[in-house]
């Protein structure tokens, strides 16, 4: 490991070496930023989703240009490749980058638990996912491993059997990477606890590289509680990634892709050369099978994790640039883009996201676009929820995790969390 990478690893470890005192109000602002930035990136990335899984890939020159058909010949909801911003008076529609995380938060909150059981997950999925009675769009908004797991639950199987490779052929697809990051935020500063409470939700749909990728993201989201908003985000973000890598098995494709993209960035960190790194990722892994990778689909866990590393490093903590690169990188472009935007959005807080995109953004969320049977928290307006209300329920869950899983202290203004040993 080169000296700079070693320093980053040591920095990440140092972040968790002392007890943490975390301001609850600032964390609440972070949770609002998490949901808001995820929605921006999700809907922006959907424009290019599945448009490119091989050359010719998109480049920066395509930003602001016309939408292109995806691999199945369909066009997106928007004609131009640009940021999607829903302003006040509008409503953010749920999509698969946010809605299952919403389901998991709802289950934690309503069951008043710090760790979901297999039955609670099964019953929650069966209650809240559209099944044969599709919603008004004629769609249940479940794909690949998520849909396989849901059908297995309908047949009587329980998680984690729902990701058993003998039962679920899509166990190594991207699904868990976009449905479980929030568990890192439920255990501030403590990746060890975050991984424990996330283990069953992750294994509801993922094994092998898909599980390793999901865990990588969970670790980073847990470490985000240690960030100093008054210091540059880039070195802190990179430190979190380096720490997550130390907990990723060396024999996984996930570790190989992280090392490959990180080395490309270190050798040539120029922002304008992200396209070359993406192209090299394609040649080495999708075509060349580096690290033992066998490409199957454009929604593989592996290739999308690799693409996410390109946007993470070359985006350098800049929210707008990370969303741009992620949206143009290719493959299942809305998913990795939403993951990093949610993380950076949490680090910046809603107030920071609004400094980037404007303070007139909608805070309203429409969960029943894609999921069902939730209470209407906002009967006086379109949609059923708001980011502030969602953040409040998140704080209540974290209170329980701090007491039951972290052996921490709660005051009116903060959490005091024992060090990660």
Q: What is the pTM of this model?
A: 0.95
Residue 182 sits at φ, ψ, to 5 deg, of -60, -25
| Per-residue pLDDT, 18 | 83
152-178 burial code (b ≥16 CB/10 A, e <16): bbeeebebbbbbeeeebebbbbbbbbb
CB 346 within 8 A of CB 34: yes
102-122 burial code (b ≥16 CB/10 A, e <16): bbbbbbbbeeebbbbebebbb
| Per-residue pLDDT, 420 | 77
At 100, is the secondary structure helix, strand, or coil? helix
Q: How far is CA 309 from CA 13, 156, 199, 265, 324, in A?
A: 21, 37, 23, 10, 14
Residues in a beta bridge with 366: 93
Count CB neighbours of 6 within 10 A: 11
Residue 181 sits at φ, ψ, to 5 deg, of -60, -30
Distance CA 358, CA 88 (A): 11
Q: How many domains does the chain have?
A: 1
| Per-residue pLDDT, 136 | 67
Q: Mean pLDDT of residues grouped by 10 in the chain (421 residues)?
A: 36 60 97 98 98 98 97 94 97 97 98 98 97 76 97 98 98 98 98 98 98 98 96 97 98 98 96 96 98 98 98 98 98 98 98 97 97 97 96 98 97 93 67
At 23, is the secondary structure helix, strand, or coil? strand
Tokens of 68: 């292109």
What value does the CA radius of gyration of the chain take, rounded to a whole number of Å?
A: 20
Distance CA 62, CA 408 (A): 49
Distance CA 313, CA 261 (A): 8
| Per-residue pLDDT, 50 | 97
Task: Identify the CA nearest to 255 among candidates 287, 212, 214, 284.
Answer: 212
User: Could you identify the residue written with the tokens 């998680």?
Assistant: 159
Q: How far is CA 220 from CA 20, 177, 231, 280, 281, in A?
A: 16, 12, 17, 25, 22
* Domain enclosing residue 36, as ranges: 3-417
379-413 burial code (b ≥16 CB/10 A, e <16): eeeebbbbbebbbebbeebbebbbeebbebeeeee
Count CB neighbours of 375 within 10 A: 11
What is the CATH classification number for the domain harbouring 406? 1.10.4080.10
Tokens of 391: 């953040």
| Per-residue pLDDT, 10 | 37
Task: Identify the CA nearest to 388 among candidates 357, 354, 350.
Answer: 350
CB 259 within 8 A of CB 216: no
Residue 13 belongs to what H/E stretch? helix 3-15
Tokens of 205: 């749909």
Task: Identify the CA nearest to 193 among candidates 342, 340, 407, 416.
Answer: 407
């Amino acid at each position: 490991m080169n000296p700079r990478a070693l320093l980053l690893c040591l920095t990440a470890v140092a972040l968790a070496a002392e007890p943490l005192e975390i301001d609850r109000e600032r964390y609440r602002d972070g949770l609002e930023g998490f949901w808001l930035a995820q929605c921006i990136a999700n809907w922006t990335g959907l424009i290019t989703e599945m448009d490119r899984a091989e050359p010719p890939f998109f480049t920066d020159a395509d930003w602001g240009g016309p939408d292109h058909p995806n691999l199945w010949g369909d066009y997106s909801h928007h004609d131009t490749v640009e940021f999607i911003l829903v302003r006040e008076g509008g409503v953010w529609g749920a999509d698969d980058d946010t809605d299952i995380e919403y389901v998991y938060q709802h289950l934690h909150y309503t069951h008043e638990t710090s760790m979901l059981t297999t039955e609670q997950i099964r019953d929650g999925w069966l209650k809240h996912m559209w099944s044969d009675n599709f919603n008004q769009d004629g769609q249940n908004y479940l794909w690949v491993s998520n849909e396989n797991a849901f059908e297995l639950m309908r047949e009587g199987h329980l998680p984690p059997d729902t990701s058993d490779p003998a039962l679920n052929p899509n166990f190594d697809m991207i699904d868990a990477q976009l449905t479980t990051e929030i568990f890192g935020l439920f255990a501030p500063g403590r990746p060890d606890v975050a991984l424990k409470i996330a283990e069953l939700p992750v294994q509801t749909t993922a094994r092998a590289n898909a599980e390793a990728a999901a865990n990588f993201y969970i670790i980073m989201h847990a470490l985000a509680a240690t960030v100093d908003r008054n210091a540059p985000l880039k070195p802190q973000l990179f430190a979190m990634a380096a720490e997550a890598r130390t907990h990723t098995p060396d024999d996984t494709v996930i570790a190989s892709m992280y090392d490959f993209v990180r080395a490309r960035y270190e050798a040539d960190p120029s922002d304008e050369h992200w396209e070359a790194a993406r192209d090299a990722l394609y040649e080495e892994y999708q075509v060349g099978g580096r690290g033992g990778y066998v490409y199957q689909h454009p929604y593989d866990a592996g290739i999308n994790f690799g693409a996410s590393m390109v946007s993470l490093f070359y985006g350098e903590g800049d929210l707008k640039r990370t969303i741009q690169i992620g949206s143009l990188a290719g493959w299942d472009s809305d998913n990795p883009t939403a993951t990093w935007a949610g993380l950076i959005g949490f680090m910046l807080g809603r107030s920071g996201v609004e400094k980037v995109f404007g303070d007139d953004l909608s805070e309203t969320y429409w969960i029943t676009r894609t999921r069902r049977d939730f209470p209407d928290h906002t009967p006086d307006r379109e949609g059923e929820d708001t980011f502030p209300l969602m953040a409040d329920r998140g704080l209540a869950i974290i209170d329980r995790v701090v007491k039951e899983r972290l052996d921490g202290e709660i005051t009116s203004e903060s959490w005091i969390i024992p060090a990660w040993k």
